[in-house]
């Protein structure tokens, strides 16, 4: 059978990155095809080219044997290609109906026919099995509902090819089931579905075949899933054994460097105690919403404390402000790199010295020489991959941006306690291993390190101790010898049957 | 107390405040609520009211236009000079409308296609166009030769001056366009989420060019009416109009971050500014204080809006 959708020799280069190189594969009519790979493997680039959002340097897309030339998303729509992006593309101030037909309002002489718009949208929503009213403003919908609207948008366009980028990431399991049913109906109707997901179980459940990308290249193409196993896919994605990327090694723990006692805040009404010793890596695990990041922000002084004490090296750090904390040697590397981490538009070098520069800027006059030396030193030490310190930071990969952030705090003199929130979110395996190595190195130098992560294997892989948070309190504490995936996860899950919090090890 | 809070912070909070203020002024300021004064009040807000219509679209699409005051002065100038030169008011008006449209179109193209920030672009055209108005008149007011030109502002229909009718008509038209037309909904869409709109196939660049072009055209209408009312083309007319028009929109709940606008709000915003000025005139308060009061009103309105949106966010 000839392929309905085929990519041939697709290549795309961004400044400094070869995002896609010579990728060719095809997908048959009526099939659900998985597209997988690590972050930065080239999936998004391929999808952006398919959606007409960006053009390939070389290579061709053919649909039903006809070579396509997309110069905008409109062209792609016209050819029947719709991409449902991971970042939702809805206008919050407009209604569901308006969003669904945005760009294609039913109108007479520019005046919208709201009656037919509403009727049509309600009918289509019903067909799909969604009970959302067409007149609801999108701002009032839950994230999951918005995701379903986004998918309904693709269906309403009568697309021939629908690409879904991580569609279940914000869906509940019930909503996911609805989505899977819709996908089944679409493929039965002869549509081609390109399904991008990190969740391999979904790939196995839904897809007729799949393609693995790695470093912008085609790592494997499976027209059917018959011979494919979970392990073989993972191996193809990573291209190497991943048995031990953690590389944990024991360290003697020293004096208590950080002692938190009875801390409470607006979002954490119940007092929390914990401590971290010199040379120790303390992992904080918890589900989203368990209060991990909020706790760290309280400790750091980013949010106002209601009560409680934070002591660093035995000295009470009473002033609860980030400025005070930094001066006393406590730094927080926050969770959202883009939002409150890197300063976009500034160079790598500037981003490194932005905090430390006040130590070597007499009377506020910058010492460019010392700044350059400091930046160069950390770029070398942390192996930050950048053409030069003058490179704009937005051109760096996620992993290297993370290293720049760590460098920023390491450049501060006298850091005693380092809190890192989600240190490896959105970065690839290779860069993760380097970040871990860096954390071990810092711990060996005598820092107390607190790592917050929602990835259990990561927390278990790198921590000396794990504290599990659940619903705004520390639900359990484990030493490395007691680490047990099942037990840790169980204590992170809210226990609604038991009245009292079940104490595990303490 | 809770009821009061709900009333003030609800959707119609601004309208409630407006009604209360209007009633208070009617009671306490003598000769405020007279037919003569009401007509005067409406006439005084014609320019700002007309310009606010399209300024609303501009702000709703996340853009900004500082050049409106200059366009109003320039097109008024053009209307008078072209009428004088050609001896035909019609030719004068058409020339003025064409000039306004052209300036708006240039704004739009520079902003949408050359991707220059709207603030900078219109800051530049504001000065360029003001310069053109001064150059063409050599800095002096230009009198109107044909008395027929005065009639634009003086004529009445059902006892109400034509400019007021035109303003009301534009309120209706743009209110309809905002709520009922593809153009209006697309405007809110590109202001609310430009990327989503682009990916949905909305011609974002085209929309922005249209919005600025229409703004230019509407400014020309305001400019013509103003010239007719002050019986001359004044190169220094309508200074500061851009900020008044933006104030009126913001008072009316239009979000500077785009994506939120309502015509009724803008009308109320325009009237609040007009009433404040009118009442102070009637009370013989020195004109200098009016700046103070207008600034305070604006500040209070945005504070109220802020309280309201955080209140909604917590729900």
> What are the pLDDT digits (tens) for A121-136?
998 888 877 788 888 8
List beta partners, residue A68. Answer: A61
Tokens of A18: 């070869």
Q: In the predicted model, is pLDDT for residue A267 greater than 80?
A: yes
Chain segment A368-383, per-residue pLDDT in tens: 788 888 888 888 877 7
Burial of residue B169, with CB atoms counted within 10 A of its CB: 0-12 exposed, 13-18 middle, 19 or more buried: exposed
Asked if A103 and A94 touch (Cβ cutoff 8 Å), the reply is: no
Query: Are B181 and A85 inside 8 Å of each other by CB?
Result: no
Closest CA to B68 of B178, B222, B247, B187: B222
Enumerate chain B positions whose Cβ falls within 8 A of a Cβ in A: 180-183, 185-186, 188-189, 191-193, 195-202, 259-260
Q: Which of A51, A92, A94 sits opposite B185 (nearest CB)?
A: A94
Distance CA A413, CA A358 (A): 11
Greatest mean pLDDT among A219-233, A330-344, B2-16, B66-80 lies in B66-80
Torsion angle, alpha carbons of B188, B189, B191, B194, to 10: -170
Pairing of strands A473-479, B142-143: unpaired
The residue to which tokens 């634009």 are assigned: B152
Pairing of strands A465-470, A281-286: parallel
Distance CA A124, CA A132 (A): 11
Asked if A255 and A80 touch (Cβ cutoff 8 Å), the reply is: no
Distance CA A220, CA A211 (A): 6
A307 inside 8 A of chain B by CB: no
Which residues on A lie below 8 Å from B200 (Cβ)?
A: 73, 89, 102-104, 153
Q: How many of the other CB atoms lie within 10 Å of CB of B4?
A: 9
Which residues on A lie below 8 Å from B186 (Cβ)?
A: 102-103, 105
Pairing of strands A305-312, B160-161: unpaired
Measured CA to CA in angstroms, residue A191 lies from A100, A471, B168 at distances of 19, 43, 52
pTM score of the predicted model: 0.71
pLDDT at position B314, please? 39
Asked if B104 and B71 touch (Cβ cutoff 8 Å), the reply is: yes
List beta partners, residue A315. Answer: A312
The H or E element containing residue A78 is helix A73-78
Chain A, 90 to 109: residues with Cβ < 8 Å from chain B are 90-94, 98, 102-105, 107
Structural domains of chain A sorted by starting position, each given as residue range(s) with its CATH number in brackets = 5-238 (3.40.50.300), 256-492 (3.40.50.300)
Distance CA A337, CA A137 (A): 30
Tell me the nearest-neighbour CA distance from A30 into chain B, angstroms.
Answer: 24
Q: In the predicted model, is pLDDT for residue A503 greater than 50?
A: no
Distance CA A320, CA A46 (A): 47
Q: Which of B185, B195, B260 sits opposite A98 (nearest CB)?
A: B185
Q: What is the DSSP letter of A42?
A: S
Find, in chain B, the residue whose alpha carbon is nearest to that of A54: B199
pLDDT at position B52, please? 95
Q: Is A486 helix (H, G, I), strand (E, B) or coil?
A: helix
Distance CA A149, CA A126 (A): 12
φ/ψ of residue A309, rounded to 5:
-125, 145
Closest CA to B34 of B42, B22, B26: B26
Closest CA to B228 of B140, B151, B137, B170: B151
The residue to which tokens 């005084």 are assigned: B44
Query: Are B182 and A112 inside 8 Å of each other by CB?
Result: yes
Distance CA B90, CA A306 (A): 72
Per-residue pLDDT averaged across A196-206, rounded? 83
A140 inside 8 A of chain B by CB: no
pLDDT at position A451, please? 93
φ/ψ of residue B303, rounded to 5:
-65, -45
Tokens of A327: 């001066």
Sheet strands (E) in A448-497: 448-453, 465-470, 473-479
Chain segment A354-365, per-residue pLDDT in tens: 777 777 777 777
Q: In the predicted model, is pLDDT for residue A182 greater than 80?
A: yes
DSSP code per residue over A6-38: EEEEEEEEETTEEEEEEEEEEE-TT-EEEEE--
Per-residue pLDDT averaged across A51-79, rounded? 86
Closest CA to A296 of A253, A267, A327, A328: A267
- Per-residue pLDDT of chain B (315 residues), as tens digits, is 667 666 666 666 778 888 888 899 898 888 888 888 889 899 999 999 999 999 999 999 999 899 999 999 999 999 999 998 888 889 999 999 999 999 999 999 999 999 899 999 999 999 999 999 999 888 888 888 888 888 888 888 898 899 999 999 999 999 999 988 888 888 988 888 888 888 777 888 999 999 999 999 999 999 999 999 988 888 888 888 998 899 899 888 888 888 888 898 899 999 988 998 888 888 888 888 888 888 888 888 778 777 766 654 433
Which residues on B lie below 8 Å from A114 (Cβ)?
A: 180
pLDDT at position B309, please? 65
Closest CA to A12 of A50, A52, A51, A42: A42
Measured CA to CA in angstroms, residue A192 lies from A59, A80, A199, B120 at distances of 20, 10, 20, 46
């Amino acid at each position: 059978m000839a392929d309905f959708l085929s990519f041939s020799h697709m290549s795309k280069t961004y400044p400094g990155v070869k995002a896609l190189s010579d990728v060719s594969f095809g997908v048959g009519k009526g099939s659900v095809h998985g597209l997988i790979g690590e972050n930065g493997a080239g999936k998004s680039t391929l999808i952006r080219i398919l959606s007409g959002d960006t053009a390939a340097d070389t290579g061709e897309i053919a649909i039903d044997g006809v070579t396509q030339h997309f110069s905008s998303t409109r062209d792609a729509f016209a050819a029947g290609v719709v991409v449902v992006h991971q970042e939702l593309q809805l206008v919050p101030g407009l209604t569901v109906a308006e969003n669904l037909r945005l760009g294609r309002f039913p109108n007479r002489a520019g005046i919208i026919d709201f009656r037919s718009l509403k009727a049509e949208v309600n009918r289509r929503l019903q067909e799909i099995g969604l009970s959302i009213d067409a007149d609801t403003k999108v701002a009032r919908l839950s994230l999951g509902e918005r995701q379903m609207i986004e998918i309904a948008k693709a269906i309403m366009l009568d697309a021939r090819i629908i690409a879904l980028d991580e569609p279940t990431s914000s869906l509940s399991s019930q909503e996911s089931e609805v989505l899977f049913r819709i996908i089944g109906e679409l493929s039965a109707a002869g549509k081609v579905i390109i399904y991008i997901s990190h969740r391999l179980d979904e790939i196995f459940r839904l897809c007729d075949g799949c393609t693995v990308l790695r470093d912008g290249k085609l790592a494997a193409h499976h027209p059917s899933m018959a011979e494919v196993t979970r392990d073989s896919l993972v191996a193809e994605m990573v291209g190497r054994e991943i048995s031990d990327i953690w590389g944990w090694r024991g360290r003697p723990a020293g004096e208590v460097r950080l002692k938190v006692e009875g801390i409470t805040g607006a979002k954490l009404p119940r007092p929390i105690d914990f401590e971290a010793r010199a040379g120790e890596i303390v992992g904080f695990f918890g589900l989203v919403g368990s209060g991990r990041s909020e706790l760290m922000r309280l400790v750091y002084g980013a949010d106002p404390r209601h009560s409680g004490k934070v002591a660093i090296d035995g000295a009470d750090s009473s002033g609860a402000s980030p400025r005070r904390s930094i001066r006393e040697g406590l730094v927080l590397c926050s969770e959202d790199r883009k939002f409150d981490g890197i300063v976009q538009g500034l160079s790598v070098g500037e981003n490194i010295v932005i905090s430390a520069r006040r130590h070597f800027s007499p009377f506020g006059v910058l010492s460019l020489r010392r700044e350059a030396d400091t930046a160069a030193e950390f770029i070398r030490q942390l192996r930050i991959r950048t053409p030069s310190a003058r490179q704009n930071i937005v051109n760096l990969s996620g992993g290297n941006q993370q290293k720049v952030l760590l460098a920023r705090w390491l450049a501060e003199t006298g850091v005693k306690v380092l809190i890192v929130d989600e240190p490896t979110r959105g970065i690839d395996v290779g860069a993760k291993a380097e970040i871990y190595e860096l954390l071990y190195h810092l711990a060996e130098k005598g820092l107390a390190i607190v790592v917050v992560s929602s990835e259990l294997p990561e927390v278990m892989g790198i921590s000396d101790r794990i504290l599990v948070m659940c619903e705004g309190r520390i639900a359990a504490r484990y030493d490395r010898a007691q680490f047990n995936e099942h037990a840790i996860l169980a204590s992170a899950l809210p226990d609604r049957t038991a009245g009292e919090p079940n104490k595990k090890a303490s | 107390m809770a009821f009061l809070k709900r009333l003030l912070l609800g959707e119609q909070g601004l309208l409630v405040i407006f009604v209360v203020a209007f009633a208070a002024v009617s009671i306490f300021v003598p000769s405020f609520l007279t037919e003569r004064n009401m007509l005067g009040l409406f006439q005084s807000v014609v320019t700002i009211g007309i310009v606010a219509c399209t300024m609303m679209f501009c702000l709703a699409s996340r853009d900004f236009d500082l050049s409106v005051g200059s366009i109003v002065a320039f097109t008024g100038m053009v209307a008078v000079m072209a009428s004088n030169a050609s001896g035909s008011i019609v030719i004068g008006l058409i020339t003025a409308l064409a000039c306004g449209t052209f300036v708006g179109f240039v704004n739009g193209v520079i902003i949408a296609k050359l991707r220059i920030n709207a603030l900078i672009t219109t800051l530049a055209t504001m000065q360029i166009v003001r310069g053109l108005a001064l150059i063409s008149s050599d800095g002096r007011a230009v009198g109107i030769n044909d008395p027929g030109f005065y009639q634009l502002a003086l004529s009445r229909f059902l006892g109400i001056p034509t400019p007021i009718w035109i303003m009301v008509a534009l309120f209706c038209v743009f209110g309809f366009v905002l709520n009922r037309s593809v153009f209006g909904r697309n405007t809110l869409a590109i202001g609310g989420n430009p990327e989503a709109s682009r990916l949905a196939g909305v011609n974002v660049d085209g929309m922005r060019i249209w919005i600025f072009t229409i703004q230019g055209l509407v400014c020309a209408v305001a400019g013509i009416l103003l010239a007719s009312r002050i019986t001359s083309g004044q190169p220094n007319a309508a200074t500061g109009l851009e900020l008044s028009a933006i104030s009126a929109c913001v008072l009316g709940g239009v979000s500077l971050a785009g994506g939120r606008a309502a015509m009724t709000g803008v009308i109320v915003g325009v009237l609040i500014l007009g009433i404040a000025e009118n009442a102070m005139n009637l009370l013989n308060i020195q004109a200098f204080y009016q700046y103070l009061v207008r600034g305070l009103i604006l500040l209070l309105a945005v504070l109220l809006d802020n309280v309201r949106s955080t209140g909604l966010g917590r729900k």
